[in-house]
Structure 1
Amino acid sequence: MAEFKEVVKNRRSIYALGNESDYTVEEIVNNIRETQKDVPSAFNSQTSRLVILTGEANDKFWDLIYNVQKDVLDEATWEFMSPIMVGAKNGIGTVLFFEDRDAVAKMPTQGQRTEAYKQNNSANSQYATWLALADMNLGGSLQHFNVGYEQGFDKAVREMFDLPDSYEMIAQLPFGSVAQPAGEKEYMDSEEQVRLIK
């Protein structure tokens, strides 16, 4: 249990990324694949789809995000977020998290419950992936650029990488070596965060 807690503790939002690793890209991808097999999903629906970008594909993706967001974000948000977009190209790659809407539609649920299960499935997938990367001494940060299937915000990403129309982009996780560690983290009182009732 101590080893698991250490991995959970080491998983932090890392924005300053490098491209060095003791692992090859193939080893990183295989570790993520193995991790995803056991990620829980509602009704074992397995609706999450991951696309891992490296090299030129990673650069193309973040160029697209940058060019879209510079016309969308207000000045203060742009000042904060644009370095994250630029820095994502310095890492090893990016994991794109999608939910397959065709698979989601097959879950035996309706309306808000379906939406909640879809988001929970993706969250489980995201966290498991982030822990897998942390276990390989890699850092990353979870981002949510150009999300919005109904509005067509993620359509350009599907077209860029020839992905199915049913893929709804939920998040992105740029990852790489830790060029600059995260700062100190503030913790709320654990007894307030987790209550025991007998």
Structure 2
Amino acid sequence: MPTTTTLYFLLLLLLPLFYSFYQNNSSTMSAANASFLSSLISRRSIYVLSKSLPTGVTQSKIQELVNQAVKYTPSSFNIESARVVVLWGEESDKLWELTWKSVEAVAGFPDDAAKAASKGKIQNFATGAGTVLFFEDQDVIDKIASIYTAYADNFPIWAENSNGLLQGNIWTLFSNEKVGASLQHYSNLIEGEVAKTWGLPASWKLKAQMPFGGIGAPAEEKEKTFEGRVKYFGGESA
């Protein structure tokens, strides 16, 4: 008959198997998904930025995060049409200066107060450490569309989808490092000046701008819900 000591050690050996069975057969979220979901929840629009990145976050680390996001974000037909430019310091300041000039030239402000508010908002983006610019290479999209003509009209849409994934991935990676960021869309007003200022190919079409830096103030709380936005058919109810 087994001794108490033998049973004790047998139990120790079996515990990992019981735990593995529980993990694989319960509805409990995996540690990896819990961590990923936490990252999604933590990512917020940060509008009050500083030029000082958090302790331990260097320009090299930011650039490595961007590189890896660009490398591993999927694209339709693996065309990898997304392009990214990172502007640091004075180069980022230059972007927001030309953005304000472009807005000022076309916007019909009702009064001086509205103009000052708009200028202040744009100048605030220059208070960060840098800006990420997101592009799509139209030449790459046109080439794949000419090959798969049945899907030609869809490739620009799919490219936009992939670019959105890339923007979200970089934003979330920044958030994990306590780097604040927001996503801005002045593309149609500044695309030409951006290409000329930084010598970019004409085929690079600007999609979004992401000012980033140290977090000067936390994001405001917002109500979020999935109610009424998701439907399930068949299977178990959510």
Normalised TM-score (structure 1): 0.90
Of structures 1 and 2, the larger Rg is shown by 2
- Mapped partners of 1:178, 1:62: distance in 2: 19
Aligned positions of 1:3-152 closer than 5 A: 3-20=35-52, 21-22=54-55, 23-75=57-109, 78=115, 81-107=118-144, 108=148, 109-111=151-153, 113-147=154-188
- Mapped partners of 2:107, 2:62: distance in 1: 33
- Mapped partners of 1:78, 1:43: distance in 2: 45
CA RMSD of aligned residues (A): 1.7
- Mapped partners of 1:43, 1:80: distance in 2: 44
**Bigger fraction of residues in helix:** 2
How far residue 81 of structure 1 moved from its aligned partner, in angstroms, is: 4.1
Q: Which shows bigger deviation, 77-86 or 35-44?
A: 77-86
Please say if 1:171 is aligned against 2:208.
yes
CA deviation profile, 1:12-46 (whole Å, cap 9, x unmatched) = 11111112222111211111111221101111111
Amino acid at match of 2:188: V
**8 Å CA contact 1:147, 1:171 repeated in 2:** no
How far residue 74 of structure 1 moved from its aligned partner, in angstroms, is: 3.8
Structure number with greater CO (CA < 8 Å, separation at least 6) is 1
- Mapped partners of 2:124, 2:103: distance in 1: 15
Q: Corresponding residue for 2:34?
A: 2
Alpha carbons of structure 1 residues 80 and 14: separation in structure 2 relative to 1, 3 Å: farther
Number of residue pairs matched? 192
- Mapped partners of 1:137, 1:27: distance in 2: 12
Q: Corresponding residue for 2:195?
A: 158
How far residue 73 of structure 1 moved from its aligned partner, in angstroms, is: 2.6
Give aligned-pair identity as a percent.
31
How far residue 79 of structure 1 moved from its aligned partner, in angstroms, is: 5.5
How far residue 163 of structure 1 moved from its aligned partner, in angstroms, is: 0.8
CA deviation profile, 1:51-70 (whole Å, cap 9, x unmatched) = 00011111111110011111
- Mapped partners of 1:81, 1:33: distance in 2: 33
